[in-house]
A = this chain, B = another copy of it.
Amino acid sequence: MQHASEASPRCPIEGLLDIVGDRWSILILRDAFYGVRRFDGFQQHLGVSKKVLAQRLRAMTAAGILKRTAYQQRPPRFEYRLTAKGQDLFPILLSMSRWGNRWLAEPDREWLLLRHKDCGNIVEARLVCSHCGGPMTPARVKAIAGPAASKQDIESLTQAVRKSRA
């Protein structure tokens, strides 16, 4: 995987991309949310090479997104389940799926529909504010550098934005 930063990530998105920043990882996660757990299952549905699949499963297990457990002893066989950290990637996958359905599908020709079990309806996922419940659109959100932001990065970003307004 490519790294924009040489050392530690400069922002939470870079940090995430260090772990699941490629197509196969996202597709493996998608299938894990569908309930696929075993190597053969991922391999068969994704059509990914065994080498790449093994590498991605190893990396996501090391990152604590998947947990590897034996489901059979002789011969040893393992399955991969999403941990709490992995389950918490659901909003990202759901947002991706919403965008694809909305912008890439023919009208009324979605690939995938989501039924919300609580209300029973076919619904969309919507991103709202954890405090007031209002919509979180680009215009309604202000990003503020947190304690871990590097001064150098803030300055570099500020310059890049200012340059765009010159």
Contacts and interface: CB of A to CB of B under 8 A. Distances in A.
Contacts of A15: 100, 104-105, 111
Interface size class of A (residues with CB under 8 A): 35 or more
9 nearest A-B pairs in the assembled complex, by CB-CB distance: A12-B100, A41-B160, A110-B146, A37-B164, A119-B132, A45-B160, A91-B95, A15-B104, A91-B127
A139 B164 CA distance: 44
Interface in A1-57: 1-2, 4, 9-17, 21-24, 26-27, 30-31, 33-38, 40-42, 44-48
Interface string A71-94: 000000001001001011111111
A97 interface: yes
A22 to B, nearest CB: 7
A14 to B, nearest CB: 7
Counted per complex, copies of this chain come to 2
A151 interface: no
A68 B49 CA distance: 38
Nearest to A115: B142
Contacts of A143: 34, 112-114
A146 B2 contact: no
Contacts of A133: 128, 133
A129 B138 contact: no
A62 interface: no
A75 to B, nearest CB: 15
Given A30-B11, A144-B113, A104 B16 contact: yes
